[in-house]
């Protein structure tokens, strides 16, 4: 039974009446008790293992936990369907000038935010300026709209974007949750109030946030702006969503099995396998777009400022046995900087073959020839130490165990890999202080332009939030030139070729160790109609119905 205590009293009475009517209907039809049917209303309980956001406005900062929950109440200008095609959403259509510097967007008419403020071109202008304002503290959204010089409100339904340079990824960037459109009146309340309850056009409304416990979302009864793949043409079937924060994966899995929750994310591989073999649990596998999940080596400081030491680490890491044993065939090994969902991704397995003898020879060549009493290589009195901060909010237990195996393998050739588990806030702090030589830093962005965000030398400079994306700290003028050219290219074939050249440079730098796609799994029980968006693979519940 699903709690409705978070709903207003009138809604509770309505649900009770609906429940009575449904019971009578089922009795009259003599439906078998073993055949569940979808029911209107009710509260869906979602349990997440991702970090609890410090702000529910994805403009502020811009991480994946914010995208997960903001999908329920904020919507972007454009969408992206399951085949990767950019589709209308809050904008119905768009045109671009021949020089690529002017984009005109036509907005849906007669749309209002849930506070009654109209969705118009002035609102779009306010949102872009909010993302670009350093006081907002944006990172992902700020980087996504960096080439937008200004937005002109031509009239109520026409917004004109003036760009400083052509941006072939603009539509991809505008499809993301981190650039979703919010009520200008909501933004005007100030950061603190807006962080607590952002106001959008989405199917649900933020009702209550109890920190470290849950967020209650209630249905937007006037919802009228679904994406292109939504089946429901009106308000959501559900009355509410109870969004619980349950960090422990085993606890989330047990809660799903017992019926205490209806949907969980970040399940462990054994739970995924069990779900695949279950008759009443559905597994949704939705890899995130953009980059692969990879370990990045900090080429900006010793010891990884020497490509020979980077290659030695890559050759010694040997992740394949750990991936096979720990992930129970639920992932495929990647040899690419891009996710398998990105059509222009290239793969080069030969660069990542394990060869401990070659790793040792490379370290000798680089001058790391002596060893201390612990078997750690030294050079000029310095140990070959690799600080590796691990975000426990972003890496499930299986991945943390994989890092431990890589640690042991690297030790075999003389590396001292220091794994330090920490919460998300501390992890961000370690990166900001440059206190790392290796890191697994997931980054989600629609399309191959993620390469520019992650590996252009400009990405070493922090965004206003203090976050910088180029954790490998690659600084290669030839790579920058390719990424800039790809960002400006309007021809798809030319763009793909430029990205292929850029990827080859990135892979041959030995600054990254690709592992697998960024894992994004959801398990559901007792609910139908849950799907993920083709944008950043977050779940949407507009079509969701609880089994009665």
Q: Could you report the per-residue pLDDT of 175-233, keeping only the tens digit for each?
A: 999 999 999 999 999 999 999 999 999 999 999 999 999 999 999 999 999 999 999 98
> Can you say how many angstroms the Cα of residue 105 is from the centroid of all Cα atoms in its chain?
26
User: With 60 as the cut, is the pLDDT of residue 20 above it?
Assistant: no
Q: Are residues 279 and 382 in the same domain?
A: no
Residue 21 lies in a domain: yes
Residue 299 lies in a domain: yes
Q: Provide the b/e sequence for 322-331 (b: ≥16 CB within 10 Å).
A: bbeebbeebb
Q: Are residues 50 and 15 in the same domain?
A: yes
Query: For position 38, what pLDDT does the model report?
Result: 77
DSSP string, 272-287: HHHHHT-SSEEEEE--
User: With 70 as the cut, is the pLDDT of residue 452 above it?
Assistant: yes
Residue 394 lies in a domain: yes
- Assign residue 229 the CATH number of its domain: 3.40.190.10
> Quick one: pLDDT band at residue 18, thresholds 50, 70, 90?
very low
pLDDT digits (tens, 9 = 90+) for 476-530: 999 999 999 999 999 999 999 999 999 999 999 999 999 999 999 999 999 999 9
Residue 223 lies in a domain: yes
> Quick one: pLDDT band at residue 548, thresholds 50, 70, 90?
confident
The Cα–Cα gap between 205 and 212 comes to 19
Task: Provide mean pLDDT across the span 26-40.
Answer: 50
Q: Are residues 217 and 340 in the same domain?
A: no
Which residue from 399, 457, 396, 393 is spatially nearest to 424, judged by alpha carbons?
Answer: 393
CB atoms within 10 A of CB 321: 12
Q: Are residues 328 and 207 in the same domain?
A: no
Which residue from 31, 24, 69 is spatially nearest to 50, judged by alpha carbons?
Answer: 69
User: With 90 as the cut, is the pLDDT of residue 288 above it?
Assistant: yes
Q: Which residues pair with 107 in a beta bridge?
A: 91
Task: Provide mean pLDDT across the span 282-297.
Answer: 97
Provide the domain limits for residue 362.
292-517
Query: For position 466, what pLDDT does the model report?
Result: 87
Asked whether the CA dihedral 344, 132, 490, 95 is positive or negative, the reply is positive
Query: For position 28, what pLDDT does the model report?
Result: 37
Task: Provide mean pLDDT across the span 277-294.
Answer: 96
Q: Where are the beta strands (DSSP E) in 408-520?
A: 416-422, 438-440, 512-517
> Quick one: pLDDT band at residue 393, thresholds 50, 70, 90?
confident
Q: Are residues 327 and 467 in the same domain?
A: yes
Q: Are residues 461 and 537 in the same domain?
A: no
Which residue from 102, 78, 74 is spatially nearest to 90, judged by alpha carbons?
Answer: 78
First to last CA, the chain: 9
The Cα–Cα gap between 45 and 468 comes to 34
Instruction: Name the token pair of 235.
Output: 């308000």
Residue 352 lies in a domain: yes
Task: Provide mean pLDDT across the span 338-360.
Answer: 97
Does residue 155 contact residue 48 with C-beta atoms inside 8 Å?
no
Q: Are residues 273 and 303 in the same domain?
A: no
Task: Provide mean pLDDT across the span 364-377.
Answer: 97
The Cα–Cα gap between 382 and 276 comes to 49
Which residue from 204, 206, 203 is spatially nearest to 195, judged by alpha carbons?
Answer: 206
Q: 110 burial class (0-12, 13-18, 19+ CB within 10 angstroms)?
A: exposed
Q: Are residues 364 and 271 in the same domain?
A: no
The Cα–Cα gap between 108 and 235 comes to 17
User: With 80 as the cut, is the pLDDT of residue 93 above it?
Assistant: yes
- Assign residue 507 the CATH number of its domain: 3.10.105.10
Q: Are residues 235 and 352 in the same domain?
A: no
Query: For position 34, what pLDDT does the model report?
Result: 40
User: With 90 as the cut, is the pLDDT of residue 27 above it?
Assistant: no
The Cα-based distances of 493 to 82, 104, 268, 498 in angstroms read 21, 24, 39, 9
Residue 3 lies in a domain: no
> How large a percentage of the chain has pLDDT more than 90?
90
Q: Are residues 208 and 333 in the same domain?
A: no
- The pair phi, psi for residue 104, each rounded to 5°, is -110, 125
Q: Are residues 239 and 383 in the same domain?
A: no
**Number of domains making up the chain:** 2
Q: Are residues 362 and 443 in the same domain?
A: yes
By residue count, the chain amounts to 548
Element (H, E) at 386: strand 385-391
Residue 4 lies in a domain: no
User: With 70 as the cut, is the pLDDT of residue 387 above it?
Assistant: yes
> Quick one: pLDDT band at residue 37, thresholds 50, 70, 90?
low
DSSP-derived letter for residue 225 is -
Residue with the larger pLDDT of the pair 14 and 249: 249
Residue 15 lies in a domain: yes
């Amino acid at each position: 039974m699903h709690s409705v205590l978070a709903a207003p009293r009138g809604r509770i009475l309505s649900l009770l009446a609906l429940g009575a009517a449904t019971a009578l209907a089922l009795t009259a039809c003599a439906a078998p008790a073993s055949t569940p049917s979808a029911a209107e209303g009710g509260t869906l309980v979602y349990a997440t293992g991702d970090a609890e956001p410090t702000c529910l406005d994805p403009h502020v900062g811009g991480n994946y936990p914010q995208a997960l929950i903001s999908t329920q109440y904020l919507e972007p200008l454009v969408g992206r369907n399951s085949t990767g095609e950019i589709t209308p959403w809050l904008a119905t259509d768009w045109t671009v000038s021949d020089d690529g510097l002017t984009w005109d967007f036509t907005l849906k008419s007669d749309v209002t935010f849930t506070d009654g403020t109209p969705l118009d071109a002035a609102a779009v202008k306010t949102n872009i300026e909010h993302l670009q304002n350093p006081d907002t503290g944006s990172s992902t959204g700020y980087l996504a709209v960096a080439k937008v010089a200004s937005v002109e409100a031509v009239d109520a339904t026409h917004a004109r974007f003036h760009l400083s340079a052509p941006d072939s990824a603009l539509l991809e960037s505008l499809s993301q949750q981190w650039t979703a459109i919010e009520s200008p009146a909501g933004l005007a309340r100030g950061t603190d109030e807006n962080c607590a309850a952002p106001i959008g056009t989405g199917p649900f409304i933020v009702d209550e946030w109890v920190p470290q416990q849950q967020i209650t979302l209630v249905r937007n009864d006037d919802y009228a702006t679904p994406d292109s793949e939504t089946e429901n043409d009106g308000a959501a079937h559900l009355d509410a969503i109870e969004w619980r924060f349950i960090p422990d994966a085993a606890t989330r899995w047990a809660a799903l099995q017992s019926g205490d929750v209806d949907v969980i994310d970040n399940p462990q591989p054994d739970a995924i396998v069990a779900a695949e073999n279950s008759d009443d649990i559905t597994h949704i596998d939705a890899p995130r777009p953009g980059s692969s999940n990879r370990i990045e080596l900090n080429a900006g400081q010793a010891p990884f400022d020497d490509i020979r030491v980077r290659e030695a680490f890559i050759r010694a890491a040997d992740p394949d046995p750990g991936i096979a044993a720990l992930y129970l065939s639920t992932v495929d090994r990647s040899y690419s900087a891009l996710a398998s969902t990105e059509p222009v991704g290239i793969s080069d397995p030969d660069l990542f073959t394990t060869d401990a003898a070659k790793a040792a020879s490379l370290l000798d060549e680089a001058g790391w020839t002596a060893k201390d009493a612990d078997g750690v290589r030294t050079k000029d009195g310095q140990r070959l130490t690799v600080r590796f901060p691990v975000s426990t909010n972003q890496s499930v237990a299986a991945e943390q165990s994989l890092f431990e195996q890589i640690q042991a393998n690297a030790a075999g050739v003389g590396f001292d890999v220091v794994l330090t588990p920490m919460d998300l806030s501390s992890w961000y702090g370690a990166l900001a202080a440059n206190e790392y030589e290796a890191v697994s830093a997931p980054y989600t962005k629609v399309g191959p332009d993620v390469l520019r965000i992650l590996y252009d030398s400009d990405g070493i400079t922090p965004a206003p939030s203090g976050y910088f994306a180029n954790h490998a700290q690659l600084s290669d003028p030839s790579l920058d030139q390719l990424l800039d050219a790809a960002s400006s290219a309007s021809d798809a074939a030319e763009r793909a070729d430029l990205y292929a050249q850029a990827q080859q440079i990135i892979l041959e730098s030995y600054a990254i160790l690709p592992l697998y796609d960024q894992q994004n799994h959801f398990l559901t029980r007792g609910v139908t109609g849950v799907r993920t968006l083709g944008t950043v693979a977050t779940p949407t519940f507009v079509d969701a119905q609880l089994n009665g």
